[in-house]
A and B are shown apart, each in its own frame.
Chain A
Amino acid sequence: MPQVTLTVNGKSETVDVEGRTLLVELLREKLGLTGTHVGCDTSQCGACVVHVNGMSVKSCTMLALQTEGAAVTTIEGLAKPDGTLHPMQEMFREHHALQCGFCTPGMVMSAVDLVQSHPEGLTEQQIRHGLEGNLCRCTGYHNIVKAIAAAWPLMHGKAMPEAAE
């Protein structure tokens, strides 16, 4: 059986997989990291979003073997080791940006990437558009958008630039 060696949440892992094993299956079934979810079969819901080498990807649309040598971060690896939540997680809580919690891990991982990749700031429309790859059935997105806007200054350590608002 083929093997893949990768780093998951800072820890090196070597795992036996099939050619057809998806990254999300590696995470959930081989490594027991069940925070990453599967909500569809057509790469649309985004419940499975993780970071591979710092970029958000859908782990249901990537083969485990494609992550050879890669650094993967899942929702379980986002908070600090002492349990302190990432600012995005904290703002999701503060703004009630989650209800059933199922889309939340993917939504948070996607949102972290969105804010990181927009140091110039984000408008409400940019945030809404930036969530194109994540579906939530509970919240109507209203509070998710608010949470992401609130996390931007915390992640960039400064106020959101005026022009972007």
Chain B
Amino acid sequence: MGFEGIGAAVRRKEDQRFLSGSGHYTDDINRHGQLYAYIRRSDRPHARIIAIDTKAAGAMPGVAAVYTGADMQADNVGGLPCGWQVKNKDGTPMAEPPHPVLAVGKVRHVGDPFAVVVAESRQAAKDAAEKIAVTWEDLPGTASIADALAPGAALVHDDVPGNLCYDWHIGDPAATDAAFAQAARVVKLDLTNNRLIPNAMEPRAAVGDYDRTTGEHTLYTTSQNPHVIRLLMGAFVLHIPESRLRVVAPDVGGGFGSKIYHYAEEAIVTWAAGKLGKPVKWTAERAESFLSDAHGRDHISSAEMALDAEGNFLALRVKTLANMGAYLSTFAPCIPTYLYATLLAGVYKTPVIYAEVKAVFTNTVPVDAYRGAGRPEATYLLERLADVIAHETGIDRVSLRQRNFIPADAFPYQTPVALQYDSGNYQATLDAALKAADWAGFRARRAAAQTKGKLRGIGISTYIEACGIAPSAVVGSLGARAGLYEVANIRVHPTGSVSVFTGAHSHGQGHETTFAQVVSDQLGVPFEQIEIVHGDTEKIPFGMGTYGSRSLAVGGSAMVKAMDKIIAKGKRIAAHLLEASVDDIEFKNGAFSVAGTDKVKTLAEISLAAYVPHNYPINELEPGLEETAFYDPKNFTFPAGCHVAEIEIDPDTGVITVVNFVAVDDVGRVINPMIVEGQVQGGVAQGIGQALLENAVYDGSAQLVTGSMMDYTMPRADDLPSISVGTETTLCTHNPLGVKGCGEVGAIGSPPAIINAVVDALSDYGVRHIDMPASPQKIWSIVRAGRSRAAA
């Protein structure tokens, strides 16, 4: 056995089962007597439901039941709750219209579920669902934020005037105005952050089970946070007490945010299983994923920076319109506010900032967090703006950034938009990235490309993000309706092996490996004797789950705290067994010893003594060796870094090839460099996808045009380059591991690096900005226009 503690590139524990086909995903679960649900979804963007006739469907072979929204309402089923309340500028709460599990009265987007058939097979349920007859009254619908805000626009929710969910702001408007009045120069940029469809490879699925003898409900679901689902569904939707509701999220095939939320189907199968007394399974077809998984991004922004004569940033003013979709998904309101506008300082010392955000309802699939969530939007805005400023002032784009960096000696650094950065060194990641990308040698590569008729460009992005969400009291004051701590229960077994029960959930992140490394490091227990248990509310204490790159920063910290308790108790047992004072007991490499002596007890010996307490300080100490810790973070963590993209354009076709991509990130202490690299590469791939390929397109009547992988471009292997990943480390100052988080940095830093490179490549064509995705057609249009100008 090699070194398997913190810092080692340990191969993953979970791979054996995934590689041999023994992974256990929700759709792999089959319960005895199971029925299948098929959900009828609206094919209309916006329509009144005049009547639903389910008789013919109910008479189809194999059908156990057909339910509509009215049936659920009659059974006192509640609506899907929203977990975050944002307040308007005037302090009033946001508009929070009801979100029925099955639509009642109206459907509000293509994909809105309005009926469910439960039958003996998937196909029988689907056959019957086609027989449900609906009388509709079509209403005008729109997918466009601008149209939804226009005077007289049709209302998505009759009681939400102007389709406005909230009108929120942050920062100091007066100070910002004053700074703008003093500015030597103001640079403006309008830009769109394109809507994305997450498309985790595993479609969502849910199996509801009900035990008549105990009255216990079990939900197996594709979730990133089973306890959150139990809380929301149990308390608000189905009114089932925690003791009667178990939620299991087994192996989950990717989430990227889209599996955080409490979805209608989870409530439907749990409720239907109870009604029918039989297990009910639902698995999304990919077409349903496109129409029901929460989408991401979809902002329209206008930004302006006030500058002094030297190019120092004096003030930033931002106006953003954010598309919420037709209903508020679980955490939707906080994405374009507290996860976006609070990041608008970026890595820069801009002294004053004022941002206004309007969130708008449209007839589209709800929008919520998708990998990065708000922070990619902030980063894209800032890093595009920085390049436009550089271009318009003539200041070199690297120098401009360096001039405005928060210096390495300025931490902790209070930004003008609420956050306090604890640590960082933006110059270090910049230097390393420029070196790795051979920034200095670019001119020669550009010239070489030119001789082949190609346009080559290089782009940079220096970004920061806030993750490890977050101090519960802080987020509570900002409208969160949940605590955001994490829990760990560490059980040292009598033989000395260890089980760790964590509230974090792994759906690709490799927690079973990384967490075991953390535990092995601290307790000195061999890696293979450590088991990580997650994803089952019956096994683990109430935890908050995995999103926002929080698992290690928050969940890992909880483990450290629990292990501290284990060691403290172990020392007391050791002191008794070794007949020494507790103060003299040291714990190192998995053993307790009396300082300065050769008297030693291994953790396994201590553990055995704890469970077989024959010779034990039983009057002072309970038997057993198991501890639980809840860790509430003191602050967000702030990973940061620099991404450099180099691209080549074929001017004849407009096709862009990414020829080189370098990411140098500061994610705090690295537990497993192999896993960190993989996380960054995956995030970068999604960022390149956003910048060049992916786009959710709705037509003028709010039909989703990109409703399958035939039209929505998923990045493939030959769309992407090799991705070089480096790290530069400053430690997080407020959590015990010094970790910051690595799950989202790739998706946050990369899109502006790519677009900056594309704009750079087209510098001779008079291009100031290109909206994502930079599709071949878009590039060709620019090249054509530039060529015809040149010819004129």
Cβ of B397 under 8 Å from chain A: no
* B674: chain A residues within 8 A (beta carbon): 96
Q: Are A37 and B285 neighbours in the complex by a CB distance under 8 Å? A: no
Cβ of A89 under 8 Å from chain B: yes
A101 in contact with B718 given A96-B12, A96-B674, A138-B508 (CB within 8 Å): no
Bound CA span A93–B19, Å = 8
- CB contact between B20 and one of A47, A85, A136, A141 (< 8 Å): that residue: A85
Bound CA span A96–B25, Å = 20
Count, chain B residues at interface, CB 8 A: 57
Q: Are B287 and A47 neighbours in the complex by a CB distance under 8 Å? A: no
- Report B11 CB to chain A, min CB distance, Å: 6
For B722, the closest partner residue in chain A by CB is A142
Cβ of B595 under 8 Å from chain A: no
Bound CA span A37–B222, Å = 15
Count, chain A residues at interface, CB 8 A: 56
- CB contact between A131 and one of B28, B679, B718 (< 8 Å): that residue: B718
- CB contact between A135 and one of B20, B28, B710, B716 (< 8 Å): that residue: B716
B149-157, B248-256, B417-425, B574-582 - interface stretch: B248-256
* B714: chain A residues within 8 A (beta carbon): 44-45, 135, 137
Q: Are A141 and B508 neighbours in the complex by a CB distance under 8 Å? A: no
- Report A148 CB to chain B, min CB distance, Å: 10
Cβ of B199 under 8 Å from chain A: yes
Cβ of A14 under 8 Å from chain B: no
Q: Are A35 and B21 neighbours in the complex by a CB distance under 8 Å? A: yes
Bound CA span A137–B287, Å = 17
- CB contact between A37 and one of B19, B202, B683 (< 8 Å): that residue: B202
Q: Are B717 and A128 neighbours in the complex by a CB distance under 8 Å? A: yes
Cβ of A145 under 8 Å from chain B: yes
Q: Are B19 and A104 neighbours in the complex by a CB distance under 8 Å? A: yes
CB 8 Å contact bits of A28-53 with B (1 = contact, 0 = none): 10000111111111101101000000
Q: Are B717 and A34 neighbours in the complex by a CB distance under 8 Å? A: no
Cβ of B510 under 8 Å from chain A: yes
A96 in contact with B11 given A39-B286, A137-B199 (CB within 8 Å): yes
Q: Are B253 and A101 neighbours in the complex by a CB distance under 8 Å? A: yes
* A39: chain B residues within 8 A (beta carbon): 201-203, 253, 286
Q: Are B19 and A92 neighbours in the complex by a CB distance under 8 Å? A: yes
Cβ of A105 under 8 Å from chain B: yes
Q: Are A89 and B20 neighbours in the complex by a CB distance under 8 Å? A: yes
Bound CA span A45–B717, Å = 12
* B507: chain A residues within 8 A (beta carbon): 100
Bound CA span A41–B283, Å = 12
Cβ of B213 under 8 Å from chain A: no
Cβ of A120 under 8 Å from chain B: no
Q: Are B717 and A127 neighbours in the complex by a CB distance under 8 Å? A: yes
Q: Are A20 and B254 neighbours in the complex by a CB distance under 8 Å? A: no
CB contact list, B231-276 vs A, under 8 A: 251-254, 256
Bound CA span A98–B25, Å = 15
Q: Are A140 and B723 neighbours in the complex by a CB distance under 8 Å? A: yes
A61-69, A72-80, A155-163 - interface stretch: A72-80
Q: Are A99 and B508 neighbours in the complex by a CB distance under 8 Å? A: yes
- Report B699 CB to chain A, min CB distance, Å: 20
Cβ of B788 under 8 Å from chain A: no
Bound CA span A21–B257, Å = 33
Q: Are B252 and A100 neighbours in the complex by a CB distance under 8 Å? A: yes
Q: Are A79 and B20 neighbours in the complex by a CB distance under 8 Å? A: yes
A101 in contact with B23 given A96-B675, A140-B720, A142-B723 (CB within 8 Å): yes
Cβ of A5 under 8 Å from chain B: no
Q: Are B509 and A132 neighbours in the complex by a CB distance under 8 Å? A: no
* A137: chain B residues within 8 A (beta carbon): 199-201, 254, 256, 682, 686, 714
Cβ of B781 under 8 Å from chain A: no
Where the two chains meet, the residues of B that have a C-beta atom closer than 8 Å to any C-beta of A are: 11-12, 14-25, 27-28, 123, 199-203, 251-254, 256, 285-287, 507-510, 674-675, 677-679, 681-686, 708-710, 714-718, 720, 722-723, 746
Q: List 19 A-B contacts (CB under 8 A).
A: A33-B21, A34-B21, A37-B201, A75-B19, A76-B21, A85-B19, A89-B20, A93-B16, A99-B254, A100-B507, A100-B508, A102-B254, A103-B201, A104-B23, A124-B722, A129-B718, A135-B714, A137-B682, A139-B681
> Knowing that A76-B22, A128-B718, A138-B682 are A-B contacts, what are 4 other residue pairs whose CB atoms are under 8 Å apart, sorted by A's residue number?
A28-B28, A78-B20, A137-B686, A142-B722
